[in-house]
A and B are shown apart, each in its own frame.
Chain A
């Protein structure tokens, strides 16, 4: 198993380097000259249709369409804005159109992009494209994805240029970033673990790139390897992916393997539902995992060592608690508005999930809990649950104070314990 080296604290060195290079004004061209690392030769595919089918499967599991398709536009034609702290990325057109897509690429070009993060013209890809995960994929799997993408309809849609802030807009600086943070794969199997575990690790850390959202990043956007799966730092549509390590309080340590399995396959488990962007990830990707791959992913995820949450709101620095009168008011609100589905004991009445030991409820950062109460929503629509149940949106019904009280109540009941929620946190997310 390839081990990422922890380089926390190095971001400043990179930043200093970035600024210096930017000022010198010499860097970009010279840095782009880096020679591509040698790549292993392609293994011949057993049959063309089998390769295409596996490519289609892997493309779904990796949910390439999520970033490379704009709502209401043809699949893989790119352009969906991806706002980050470094500026806005516009993922490119992946269809085989020659002028605007990747129709002029070769199989080797495609492998180099996924495995090394280098474009055919030799320039570097930003890690907004999760090549640090895809580098763990085998050549055969990358070629299968390539074969599938060659088969989708070509769409002429010119790429939108990224709008990145300086100095991140200087692509050549990725040379420094790569030296600091990029370890090319592929992952070597761990002989001490089972075949299922190794397959799960391969899928989770490779094509499914779960860590891209569920692992924290440092200030230069590199995943912090020592805190893998401790919950994300970036947000997507305002949602922040929770801790999925075996931490029993903030993560999924008290979920049975069957709960994880249900969650990934149907979008719903008695311990919690797929909400926010995860709903789409399950719908278009994970629900399609083959039974063996699903078991493998569950095996690996259940083995992730417990990690503490490392991302919290400013409020988490203060040890605030609600007054007894405030708590009684909150209990009444919860009883009126929530207990009908989640129960006065918080256990949840199926199909409505348990709020105890639920990572969204107990995350150090109350962001997703507040968003869920404000917006509500349907469970994922999957083959196993095609007519899902829903939670009402409380945004129009309750004020900031009431929602903060309810959120705080569920974070301090039935054994739950997480920092206090205050009304301004709710107001900021309306």
Chain B
């Protein structure tokens, strides 16, 4: 359900949100269609290999685990913690992002080039299975850091209500009331890496990720507001997920 954040503005943002999501989907659909077209050049030999089980997937994804953790828990400690938590993300969103890396629609710092090299020759079927694997994983969350209550309060108001004066919608209006993401291609934000979230907003600001809506949001917010949003989102924990003891 969409959360209407201010009178009269909610419907408009719902519409704009849907339009923006559709606009983001178009290149993905085109790329997917082309991928199907070109791989159809020779009839695929039917495969007899069994689909790997969870352990089998974990073994195969050693390259991913290096930065994102064996269960996709993300990385908070090593190398600045810019590697996002993949566990629990909607599979559709993960698939979309993997395709965008391959199509050079996400650019910038070196890990992005590494992602392209890793993902470029995977089949659509395997890409989907990898996305599904991470969606289904439920690793523990790291213990919460000590947050500044004032910062958290600012973050909460921005996330829940947006910034109507600057036409910034609430995060909850698209990402779900509990910020758990949505089936199609909307990311889960609750419990995501704080540093990662900040870096992504910077990427939209600098045009390294492409979304008019998010670029608008990143432009409208101050550095302090971006950090507050990232801090608040990282402090949330989806219901029924275990948390490591402190």
Contact = CB atoms under 8 A, between A and B. Distances in A.
Interface stretch (A65-73, A228-236, A301-309, A328-336): A65-73
Say whether chain B's binding surface is mostly helix, strand, loop, or mixed.
Answer: helix
A247 B200 CA distance: 50
8 contacts: A72-B30, A378-B122, A383-B44, A384-B47, A390-B62, A390-B64, A396-B67, A397-B79
B38 A75 contact: yes
A346 interface: no
B103 A72 contact: yes
Interface stretch (B110-118, B189-197, B203-211): B110-118
Contacts of B129: 387
A392 B66 contact: yes
Contacts of A69: 38
Interface residues of A, number: 39
Contact of A75 (B31, B41, B64): B41
Contact of A384 (B49, B67, B104): B49
A284 B120 CA distance: 13
Interface string A160-197: 00000000000000000000000000000000000000
Contacts of A71: 102-104, 120
Interface in A65-89: 65, 69, 71-75
Given A383-B44, A390-B61, A396-B67, A74 B118 contact: no
Interface of B: 30-31, 34, 37-39, 41-42, 44-47, 49, 51-52, 56-57, 59-67, 79, 102-104, 110-111, 114, 117-118, 120-123, 125-126, 129
B44 A395 contact: no
Contacts of A376: 63, 66, 114, 118
A74 B37 contact: yes
A106 interface: no
A371 to B, nearest CB: 9
Which of B45, B62, B64 has its CB near the most chain A CB atoms (within 10 A)? B62
Interface of A: 56-57, 59-60, 65, 69, 71-75, 279-280, 283-284, 287-288, 341, 375-378, 380-381, 383-393, 395-397, 430
Contacts of A377: 63, 117-118
A380 B41 contact: no
Contact of A56 (B39, B42, B65, B126): B42
A280 B65 CA distance: 24
A279 B120 CA distance: 10
A378 B118 contact: yes
Contact of A65 (B38, B51, B66, B102): B38
Contacts, number: 107
A279 B61 contact: no
Nearest to A387: B52
Contacts of B31: 72
A56 B120 CA distance: 23
A284 B61 CA distance: 22
Contacts of A380: 121
Contact of A383 (B47, B79, B117): B47
Contacts of B39: 284
B118 A385 contact: no
A279 B30 CA distance: 24
A264 to B, nearest CB: 14
Given A59-B41, A71-B103, A75-B37, 18 more contacts: A56-B41, A60-B42, A69-B38, A72-B31, A75-B41, A341-B62, A378-B122, A383-B45, A383-B47, A385-B49, A386-B49, A386-B125, A387-B51, A390-B60, A390-B61, A396-B111, A397-B66, A430-B110
B117 A375 contact: yes
B49 A387 contact: yes
A341 B51 CA distance: 22
B126 A387 contact: yes
Contact of B62 (A56, A387, A391): A391
Chain A CB within 10 A, most for which of B41, B42, B125: B41
A288 B42 contact: yes
Contacts of A388: 60, 126
A380 B126 CA distance: 11
B57 to A, nearest CB: 8
A381 B122 contact: yes
A74 B34 CA distance: 6
A254 to B, nearest CB: 27
Instruction: From B57, B60, B111, B125, name the one whose CB has the most chain A CB atoms within 10 angstroms.
Output: B60
B92 to A, nearest CB: 20
Contacts of B63: 376-378, 390-393
A373 B102 CA distance: 20
Contacts of A391: 62-63
Contacts of A288: 42, 45
